[in-house]
Structure 1
């Protein structure tokens, strides 16, 4: 009986320790420590860079079981910023993001697979843009984690993927060099 009680107590202790590492994080957009960026070739001669200024999200992460992590991000499409007001107006139109009809883009992970070191992962999920939902995969890198100077705890990741514009109903002719856009996600999460 003592062995059974000791085994049960030990199992409970190990289980609670493993779950103590699991945490939910909110993406730190208030402190400007997170960014959703994009870049697309301009005529094949250079790159046009931009970002979405307004977005929110959260994720769960446990360094002991990283493949159980999850992430959700919501982007306000009207917040697109390419550093050119007239171009941004066009990007918000029906030719591109159609922000009046589709004010948000969303990403919700369905699986996350880290490498053995826990530093790199493939994040797969459902991305909805311009009213179209497709399964996409981000390659991400863990930047780091630890306590911050204000008594909180943070973890950061960065990742990038390439999207074919036509897959999301965006068929405006930008030329053969500009059929895809690279999306970057740079997030720092604050543990709740």
Structure 2
């Protein structure tokens, strides 16, 4: 049992270190240029239904497949990563930030957002999850840049309230692109 607690402590330290590293990379490289419309309303699905975390990740990823941002293989990579390393993508209560390393399965950088009418469980301390964001990046710079900007935005409670209460995908995309992601 002690080993389990040690592993959990190591994972928590890793998460904090990873976030600090990402923020330092962004400070060093102020020339990160991302598409001004990193999330489109077509890549937002509000009030969806999923039977479990795998289906929720597939639904969120499928939005990017439908818009030609990724191939189905990227969805498989994100799910495999959670199966191998655990639900580290559930970064705050109620939110999973699904992502994998840049790969040939990513056609262009972008994100999708899926809100669930009934939350799903990833079997972690931040369960249940009612929002799944899928991040896909064509290179490490975009990947780290988006992770940093999304982490900053999502850490604000009022931003999470806005996401949870918004009923219009176009308004949500406009807000995310205008204020926080670009």
Higher helix share: 2
Higher-Rg member (1/2): 1
Higher RCO (CA-CA < 8 Å; seq separation 6+): 2
